[in-house]
Homo-oligomer: A and B are copies of this chain.
């Protein structure tokens, strides 16, 4: 995976900060801390924290205004991956090119490490300043991770396996399972970057559209890449009868959708007062990425 330059700078800052936030000298919880680090510090694209930082800059804030909140959201993202990979859910053995957490440790540790990352996300978000903004950020992220977001999307995804599915339900799954948290990353960045309501709403729209494009491209890559390239099993969506954009709309129509969502995302940036180069770069990177 070759990251664009603006993004690469942010990813270095994010990786350093994630290590700091996950460091602990608590002797009683060494094993679970190590499990959390194993998951979060695995090489990742860091799309969500990078979006959070870049969204702060788009509102004339500094990129650093979105750093800790972005890291908190990355932890929440990892929590959702850990739980989704569990045997009772997607039962995946490989993630980011390494054994999934329950394979490396065990199921109990994976469930609890996920829960601990969820808690740590809200601990970090709620301690941002000023408190008024911290509460808004927690609300935004909590909504996007519960029934109206991640968890609801995952449940719907599981229930839809092997079932005939309509286009509306498929979009709802993608919107909740993927787009919601990407939307929250952008909104929270805008919030801490000093954005007004209108700007935060524009960043929500950017994040939602980018998130939809991101998931459609993921569906397409899952059909056309090798396991080695992806760092996880491929074609598994089809084997499980998972609902994907290619399976419902076909390859060409899916690509058209991804392009449309990317264009909508980029248009949402027009009225932003600050720097949006990295956000545009991220949108194009998402659309064009091969891995």
Q: Write the residues of chain A forming the contact surface with B, with a CB cutoff of 8 angstroms.
A: 24, 26, 28-29, 31-33, 83, 86, 88-89, 106-109, 111-112, 115-116, 118-120, 122-123, 125-128, 130-136, 138-139, 141-143, 145-152, 154-156, 158-159, 169, 172, 176
Contact = CB atoms under 8 A, between A and B. Distances in A.
Nearest to A87: B107
A119 B145 contact: yes
A84 to B, nearest CB: 9
Given A135-B135, A138-B135, A139-B126, A116 B147 contact: yes
6 interchain residue pairs of minimum CB distance: A119-B146, A88-B107, A131-B135, A126-B138, A131-B132, A123-B142
B108 A120 contact: no
B146 A120 contact: yes
A88 B106 contact: yes
Contacts of A31: 155, 159
A127 B141 CA distance: 12
Contacts of A159: 31
7 contacts: A33-B147, A88-B111, A115-B146, A118-B118, A123-B146, A128-B135, A132-B135
A29 B155 contact: yes
- Residue of A126, A127, A136, A150 most packed against chain B (CB within 10 A): A126
A120 B154 CA distance: 16
Given A29-B152, A88-B107, A135-B135, 11 more contacts: A29-B155, A116-B152, A118-B118, A119-B142, A119-B147, A119-B149, A120-B147, A123-B146, A126-B136, A128-B135, A131-B132
A217 to B, nearest CB: 24
Contacts of A146: 115-116, 119-120, 123
Nearest to A125: B138
A256 to B, nearest CB: 25
B118 A26 contact: no
Given A29-B147, A132-B130, A155 B122 contact: no
Nearest to A127: B139
Contact of A155 (B109, B119, B145, B149): B109
Contacts of A135: 126-128, 131-132, 134-135, 138
Given A122-B122, A138-B135, A152-B116, A108 B147 contact: no
Contact of A169 (B28, B88, B123, B158): B28
Nearest to A158: B108
B136 A131 contact: yes
Contacts of A33: 147
Contact of A147 (B24, B106, B133): B24
Interface centre among A24, A29, A120 (most CB of B within 10 A): A29
A116 B120 CA distance: 16
